[in-house]
Amino acid sequence: TNLDNLVIIPISTSEELFGKTGPFANTLSGIFVSSTSSSTMGAAYDEATSLLLQLHHISRPSLADFTITPQTSLLSTASTVTHSLTVLLAGVAAIALLVGGIGAMNIMLVSVTERVPEIGLRKALGATRIAILQQFLLEAGLIGLTGGVLGVGLGLVG
């Protein structure tokens, strides 16, 4: 429902404006009922149901020409939607992380492949395998950190 096309007024005001007879008399699309606390919500629901059944001259509740939607069901629906969106966003984030990891892996593979002569020279000068590995891991970490900081910065700006 578009709230721009909705008017909420008391019944007494409606009767003053439109009268008790006429095209808008007895036209009611919704009633909002509140209870004093959440513990009395069930009693308010039951009282509203019985009163509407009585006013509509309906003897069996299964023949009711109205529906009552308790706030708890609306909250339950909102909670379900929120949970679904959370799961969806977590899936998208996981896919983005996987793609980013594969991209970083490919960049490091190209880096190592292109720098084979440098690795050979460092080994010939006495560098250990661990030292060379640490250099590449440090470079990968710094590139990833720089990309992350730039990404967050651009995300906040734009």
List the chain pLDDT tens, one digit each, 158 residues: 566 777 777 778 877 777 776 666 666 667 777 778 778 888 888 888 898 888 888 888 888 888 887 777 777 888 999 999 999 999 999 999 999 889 888 988 998 899 999 999 999 999 999 999 999 999 989 988 999 999 999 999 98
Q: How far apart are CA 60 and CA 79, in angstroms?
A: 33
Q: Are 143 and 107 in contact (CB under 8 A)?
A: yes
Judge if pTM exceeds 0.85.
no
